[in-house]
Structure 1
């Protein structure tokens, strides 16, 4: 057994657990010109199924690096990372891409929707890469658009939708693969405060239905919607606070 209670395993081995994220000594160092930057300095953390976690920190704190590592968009310089019971720290790019598509749903500040595709086709897109048949893709996408309140807008393109509606489409797309983790990067950053609150209410509904969520934000009022707040500073977790359910 490891120090954090994780079974020893080789890269890619799955270990059944209710822990969605487990990291041990997660470290990221890179070169910036002649300077060595220590973006993360040995982070240890567990996030269990159905937790709702916000990550905060000042510029340069390591939160973007942390999000990229958790999202399998980058690889650590040292340390271990298990995502939904699978050791991923030593995997190659193709393997990481498959895990991203299967286990993680991404929600971005800028929505990242295909401008010429309908809401339905945008939501269904991740299932194309999973090899799901067209009929099932469209059925699952339609169910999720209903879930986020946009069933009547499924044939609209992004430029025919408001910012809040586009973010709802992006959330539906993030959920369509039934991911273990919904990872949101500044999800209300491009929205006005009222629309932002509506999106946060939707996240709250998803959490109440059992979805594990992690959001990265610099806004305290957005972070306060989460049940747990991690505050990063200088590449380490300075505070880890929990709110009562």
Structure 2
């Protein structure tokens, strides 16, 4: 079996497990709105799998009636189309046909089943705990199976998401007026590229001159 086919089979099984296995976890930090097609196109494959599990769980919640069912179906279809765009046809079909599984047969699927079962068994775990592990597992399996030069990796869009694309996504997912206000606010601050605000160095990478207690007590620059 070639690498592309094996990756597709494993991811498809993980998606079936996500759709077939129950969820009793507390909601995690999550995200304020569902991602649209432009955002999905930029996600790593592991993140797509995590987003799929999150959407499955969201759609099963008691308050799901407050969400437009057409938007729910469109969001799942957008995920399926993104998997298909990356050459993962079986994975796309698993979503489109709402295929379910409770027991895994592939190596990656068995690992994912273990991740889900362990998370569900922990009283302190939430959906972020499970999702992070699923995400990392999928990306590691893609690398292990030689997917770096395959469409599953190379078809990911690595350019920055523009404000126009984000606005398109907001329309697609029927976002609230607050989301549009937040986008407008971000554009005012960062310009038309919403990624600009995230391009500054991580705090851990910044270097600062050490200030001694003596300097602090004698300098007006550091006076409290």
Normalising by structure 2, we get a TM-score of: 0.27
Higher helix share: 2
Larger radius of gyration: 2
Higher strand share: 1
Normalising by structure 1, we get a TM-score of: 0.25
If asked which structure has higher relative contact order (CA below 8 Å, sep 6+), I would say 2
